[in-house]
A and B are shown apart, each in its own frame.
Chain A
Amino acid sequence: MRTCGATPGGPDLAGVDLANQTVIQGAVLRGGVSDGVPNGAPVGNAYVRLLDSNGEFTAEVPTNSEGQFRFFAAPGSWTVVVLAHGAREEVKVQAQKGTPIDLVIHI
Chain B
Amino acid sequence: MSRATSLVSTEWVQENLSNKNVVFVEVDEDTTLYEKGHIDGAITFHWREDLQDGLIRDLISKEKFEALLSKNGISNDSTVVLYGGNNNWFATYAFWYFKIYGHQDVRLIDGGRKLWELKGLPLVTEVPSRTASRYVAKERDNSIRAFRDQVIASIGIKNIVDVRSPAEFSGELAAPAHLPQEGGQIKGHIPGAKNIPWSKAANEDGTFRSNEELAELYKAAGVDFAKETIAYCRIGERSAFSWFVLHELLDLQNVTNYDGSWTEYGSLVGVPVAVGA
Contacts and interface: CB of A to CB of B under 8 A. Distances in A.
Contact of A58 (B118, B119, B165, B200): B165
Given A65-B36, A83-B204, A71 B120 contact: no
A71 B181 contact: no
Interface in B143-174: 165-167, 172-173
B114 interface: yes
A72 B114 CA distance: 21
Interface in A67-90: 70-74, 81, 83-86
A85 B118 contact: yes
B197 interface: yes
Interface string A49-60: 110101011111
- Chain B: interface size category: 20 to 34
B178 interface: yes
B178 to A, nearest CB: 4
A96 interface: no
Contact of B176 (A20, A45, A56, A59): A59
A47 B177 contact: no
Contacts of A47: 114, 117-118
B266 interface: no
A73 B179 CA distance: 9
Interface string B75-93: 0000000000111000000
Interface residues of A, number: 28
A72 B179 contact: yes
Contacts of B87: 60
A72 B36 contact: no
A62 interface: yes
Interface string A17-51: 10011000000000000000000000011010110
B68 interface: no
B119 A50 contact: no
B40 interface: no
A72 B180 contact: yes
A56 B119 contact: no
Contacts of B141: none
Given A57-B199, A58-B176, A59-B165, A83 B36 contact: no
Nearest to A57: B199
A40 to B, nearest CB: 19
B205 A58 contact: no
Interface string B171-212: 011011111110000000000000001011000110000000
A55 to B, nearest CB: 11
Nearest to A47: B114
Contact of B205 (A17, A65, A83): A83
Contacts of B120: 85-86
A83 B176 contact: no
Nearest to A45: B117
A21 B181 contact: yes
B53 interface: no
List 9 tightest A-B contacts by C-beta distance, closest first.
A57-B199, A59-B177, A59-B178, A85-B120, A61-B178, A58-B165, A71-B177, A73-B177, A58-B177
Interface of A: 17, 20-21, 44-45, 47, 49-50, 52, 54, 56-62, 65, 70-74, 81, 83-86
Interface of B: 30, 33, 36, 85-87, 114, 117-120, 165-167, 172-173, 175-181, 197, 199-200, 204-205
